[in-house]
Amino acid sequence: MVSASVKDVAALAGVSVGTVSNVLNRPEKVSAEVTVRVQSAIDKLGFVRNDAARQLRAGMSHSIGLVVLDAANPFFTDLARGAEDRATAENLTVLVGNSNEDEGRESAYLDLFEQQRVRGVLLSPVGNVIPRLEQLRRRGIPTVLVDRQTENMSFSSVAVDDLAGGEMAAAHLLSLGRRRIAFVGGPASIRQVADRLAGARKAIDAVAGATLEVIATESLTVLSGRAAGESIRSRPKAERPDAIFAANDLLAVGALQGLMLMGGVKVPQEIALIGYDDIEFAAAAVVPLSSIRQPSALIGSTALELLLREAASEDGFEPAQVVFPPELIVRASTQG
């Protein structure tokens, strides 16, 4: 026999299946003596509940689905951990799917979650999934968008205010007295990049004499950042910016390398440098990097919180848009 069922347990303990179920789910309804008998039968048979049967009966699983853009990105692993911790407290499981920024994979995971009758879905969307999400909602499966606000406000979302983050970073550089600021980042089609730039521009426009130069990169990687840093280093001193705001920490780390190569530019004395995301590596860089921190785990737990609330509520649910403020982390790269 591969696996014992409640029936087997009941037979061995000399009770009915209903009683076994009661021992499992409402122990207070069962006499001590019977509880002991059933327990020992469970132990002897190595009985383990069949989740599929429970779910079938219950009509709904006790997991929630999470689809992320990139499982390797620390931001998303932190976010997932935040959601998991909150879920565990609620006796729920989080199933993580990695869309890898691919619409097909995203859609496949949504299908899977729908078949599993998950309690809800947390989604960092790739394509235009709103219709798909409306279908899920009709089926009673709520969705909360993470890291991207919904266009039409019909779904709840949790995100960070990248505009404010950009503004904050630029304002910090300006407060150091720097005026010739360069933004390193790209591609501009990524919303986060565009927002951070827009925020920076806003802060810079507000200060007379401050200028903003945009140095576009192909991607948000260390290598791109390094190329940008080297190109700045190769300029005549007078034409260099006196501060750099990089669209994320990987770029900042790369830029730092490019600048410092061959005893080049001194950071922060000649050029101050700030990144974005505050990844673990930022603090460990040759010159510890200032950065804009995003509360990734908090985003995850909050998203799950909203999801639970929506799942518990009746029809007239009001979607909520939560936007977290980013946080400025000052380290050596902008001090001195």
Partner DNA sequence: ACACAGGAATGAATCGTTTCATAACCAGCT
Partner DNA sequence: AGCTGGTTATGAAACGATTCATTCCTGTGT
What is the contact surface with DNA in residues (CB under 7 A)? 3, 5-7, 14-22, 24-25, 29-31, 33-34, 47-50, 53-54, 56-59
Q: Does 286 bind a second copy (CB under 8 A)?
A: yes
CB of 267 to a second copy, least distance (A): 13
CB of 304 to a second copy, least distance (A): 16
- The SS3 call for residue 105 is helix
Of 164, 244, 161, 251, nearest to 203 by C-alpha is 164
- The SS3 call for residue 196 is helix
Do 129 and 75 form a contact (C-beta atoms < 8 A)? no
Which stretch in 78-86, 154-162, 208-216, 316-324 sits in contact with a second copy by CB under 8 A?
Answer: 78-86
Sketch the per residue contact string, 80 through 109, with a second copy: x for CB under 8 A, - otherwise.
xx--x--------x-xx-x-----------
Q: Does 3 bind a second copy (CB under 8 A)?
A: yes
Per DSSP (E only), the strands in 7-155 are 63-68, 93-98, 121-123, 143-146
d(CA 144, CA 235): 47
Kindly give, in sequence order, each residue whose CB lies less than 8 Å from that of residue 165, ignoring residues fewer than 6 positions away.
Answer: 195, 196, 199, 276, 292, 294, 326
Residue number, 115 or 152, with CB nearest to DNA: 115
Of 330, 230, 248, 240, nearest to 287 by C-alpha is 330
Q: Does 50 bind a second copy (CB under 8 A)?
A: yes
d(CA 185, CA 82): 28
Identify residues 111-170 at the interface with a second copy (CB under 8 A). 111-112, 114-117, 135, 138-140
d(CA 125, CA 25): 38
Q: DSSP states of 238-283 as a string?
A: GGS-SEEEESSHHHHHHHHHHHHGGG-S-TTTTSEEE-SB--GGGG
For residue 304, how many C-alpha atoms fall within 13 Å in the half-sphere facing its CB?
28
Residue number, 5 or 321, with CB nearest to a second copy: 5
Q: Does 21 bind a second copy (CB under 8 A)?
A: no
CB of 311 to a second copy, least distance (A): 13
Residue number, 78 or 305, with CB nearest to a second copy: 78
7's contact among DNA, a second copy, none, with CB below 5 to 8 A by partner kind, is DNA
CB of 24 to DNA, least distance (A): 5
Contact residues toward a second copy (CB under 8 A) are 2-3, 46, 48-53, 55-56, 61, 71-72, 74, 77-78, 80-81, 84, 93, 95-96, 98, 111-112, 114-117, 135, 138-140, 221-223, 226, 254, 257, 260-261, 263, 281, 284-286
